A and B are shown apart, each in its own frame.
Chain A
C-alpha cells in the first residue's frame, strides 16, 4: 500500500501561471482533503470532498479549484498563481463521518510562486 501519494514534490511557478496538484489514495477512503501549511499558522483547509461526487470549501478556498475525479483521486488547481500561494500543500484522506477516524497525509508539495 502506497497510502496517500502526491505529485509533484516541488514546483516553482511564475505569477499568473496555472498548475494542478495531483493526489491519490489507495486506502478506499471516502473523504479527501487539501491543506496548505504556512509558517506559524498550522494546517489550513482549502477544500475537502466528503465522498465521491461532492466537494466543499474549507477555510481558505480563494484562488483554488478542486476535482474529485473518482474515489481514489482528488486534484487541486491553481488557475492563476500568486506569490501569496507560496506554501506547502498537503493532501489527506480519511474514512467518512466518524469522529474516531484519523487522517492520513501525503508527503506534501512545496510550491514557490515568483
Chain B
C-alpha cells in the first residue's frame, strides 16, 4: 500500500485565491511527522511546513497552513492568497518515528493564473 497518496496531478488557481492540495497517508505508528515541500521549475526542493502526529493545532507558516485530520489520515496543504510565484510542484511526505526513511507522494503541480 502507498504510504502517501496525492490524488491531484495538476491544479489551477486564480491569483489571490486560496487553494487546497490533498494528501492522505497510511501508517500504524503513533509517532510520525508530515511534511510539505515545494519544487519550482528551477528544480530545488524547498521545505514548507511540518505537522507532528501529536500536535493538536494545525501548523501554519505564513500563507501556508496544514489541515491535519488525524482520524481521516489526511494532511492537506492550504495556500492562501495565491501568488504567481506559488506555481510549482508540491510534494507531501511522511517520516515514521523513530526512523530514518521519508515517504513521498507523487506530487501535485500547481499553476497560478493571473
Contacts and interface: CB of A to CB of B under 8 A. Distances in A.
A91 B83 CA distance: 29
Given A41-B106, A42-B106, A99 B52 contact: yes
A23 to B, nearest CB: 14
Contact of A48 (B33, B47, B50, B100): B100
Interface residues of A, number: 29
19 contacts: A31-B100, A40-B9, A42-B91, A42-B106, A45-B101, A48-B100, A50-B100, A90-B45, A96-B100, A97-B98, A97-B99, A99-B33, A99-B97, A100-B97, A102-B35, A103-B47, A105-B45, A108-B45, A110-B43
| Chain B interface size range | 20 to 34
Nearest to B35: A102
B8 interface: no
Interface of B: 4, 6, 9, 31-33, 35, 37, 43-45, 47, 50, 52-53, 91, 93, 95-102, 104-107
Contacts of A41: 106
Contacts, number: 69
B98 A100 contact: no
A99 B47 contact: no
Contacts of B37: 105
A34 interface: no
Nearest to A105: B45
A33 interface: yes
